[in-house]
Amino acid sequence: MGILKNKVAAAAIGLIAATSAAWADYPEKPVVLVVPFAAGGPSDKIARDLAEALRKPLAQTVIVDNTAGAGGTIGAARVARATPDGYTLLVHHIGMSTAPALYKKLPYKTLEDFEYLGLINEAPSTLIGKPGLAANNFADLRKWISANEGKVNIANAGVGSASHLCGLILQATLSSKMTFVPYKGTAPAMTDLMGGQVDLMCEQATNAVPQIEAKKVKVFGVTSKQRMALPSLAQSPTLAEAGLAGFEMSVWHGVYAPKGTPSAVLARLNGAIRTALKDPELIKRQEVLGVRVVTDSRLEPAEHKKYVEAEMTRWGKIIKDSGETAD
């Protein structure tokens, strides 16, 4: 029996070695980062910053490809179905944890159809309004919303997006029904908000800070636990201190590969992501927008997955209580 066991062990070691050797030259062609929202939004921004910073550690071209629609679920499904060879990855955010509670027929299984490659950043959201909105602080905005009950429209990037989740919590906390206006991403939504076609939007600081600094939108509060240090946001209250007790939301982004991607490739990718996130240029580009790069254990694939699972439980309850579903 001992000989048979040794033979099986030797065969297994041989197979692992052969598999690793087969992938030793990975990546031999450009790596694609799929962003499940329109170009120009916060998800696109972190993906392009990451792609830039990954080129050196991977010694390969890294490109961003936007596959927008249905609150990020179309892009996520594309990667879940992609060949598990390390050449098609997903950069996605908190929507990975909210979509399961919102979509009865989600075209992928969040915890089973992906390999987790690490959490990469965390961004507070801001509550912003069109330039001509008849309110200049959160207290006035609250009065304006209740005086216009049923007529207020708030933009988002589709059911399951971060802006949608933030709008859901705002609507529930204010107990005031609003009309949700979905876009393929918050970049096109921002254009309409600045043009006055929509009244409000909850947008990650990544995309909101430049427009707030340019005074192209009004800002009423931030969803972070503490006030933000950025000069353009230092005067903006947290929504919790403005009266929405417990309203705290941080939008995180992570990187994913299709289930079944070889472990040698996953290790190569996780190592390259860790190196990329130490790039001072990338860190600076995120920090000036109020966004924090992840440096803790959630960069570990197992910890990343555990975190997403915990977020699914946390947001699942809030979404269920809101009664909102996508289908």
Q: Which residues bind ligand MLT (CB under 6 A)?
A: 37, 41-44, 93, 95, 156-157, 161-163, 185-187
Q: Are 219 and 133 in contact (CB under 8 A)?
A: no
Question: What minimum distance in Å lies between the beta carbon of 41 and ligand MLT?
Answer: 3
Count how many residues are written for the chain.
327
Which of 73/270 has CB closer to ligand MLT?
A: 73
Query: Which residue of this chain has its Cβ atom nearest to ligand MLT in the complex?
Result: 41
Question: What minimum distance in Å lies between the beta carbon of 166 and ligand MLT?
Answer: 8
Tell me how far apart the alpha carbons of residues 131 and 136 are, in angstroms, rounded to a whole number. 10
> Considering Cα of 293, then 273, then 282, then 82, what sign does the dihedral take?
negative
Biggest CA pair distance of the chain: 82
CA distances from 283 to 119, 279, 286, 299 (A): 14, 6, 5, 15
Tell me how far apart the alpha carbons of residues 82 and 208 are, in angstroms, rounded to a whole number. 32
Which of 44/113 has CB closer to ligand MLT?
A: 44
Question: What minimum distance in Å lies between the beta carbon of 162 and ligand MLT?
Answer: 4
Which of 46/257 has CB closer to ligand MLT?
A: 46
Which of 152/157 has CB closer to ligand MLT?
A: 157
DSSP category for residue 172: H
Question: What minimum distance in Å lies between the beta carbon of 187 and ligand MLT?
Answer: 6
- Which DSSP helix (H) or strand (E) runs through 61? none
Question: What minimum distance in Å lies between the beta carbon of 295 and ligand MLT?
Answer: 22
Which of 133/187 has CB closer to ligand MLT?
A: 187
Question: What minimum distance in Å lies between the beta carbon of 11 and ligand MLT?
Answer: 47
Which of 68/272 has CB closer to ligand MLT?
A: 68
Tell me how far apart the alpha carbons of residues 1 and 93 are, in angstroms, rounded to a whole number. 51
Tell me how far apart the alpha carbons of residues 311 and 97 are, in angstroms, rounded to a whole number. 6
Which of 27/72 has CB closer to ligand MLT?
A: 72
Please tell me whether residue 70 adopts helix, strand or coil conformation: helix
Question: What minimum distance in Å lies between the beta carbon of 157 and ligand MLT?
Answer: 3
Please tell me whether residue 203 adopts helix, strand or coil conformation: strand
Q: Where are the beta strands (DSSP E) in 208-262?
A: 218-222, 250-258
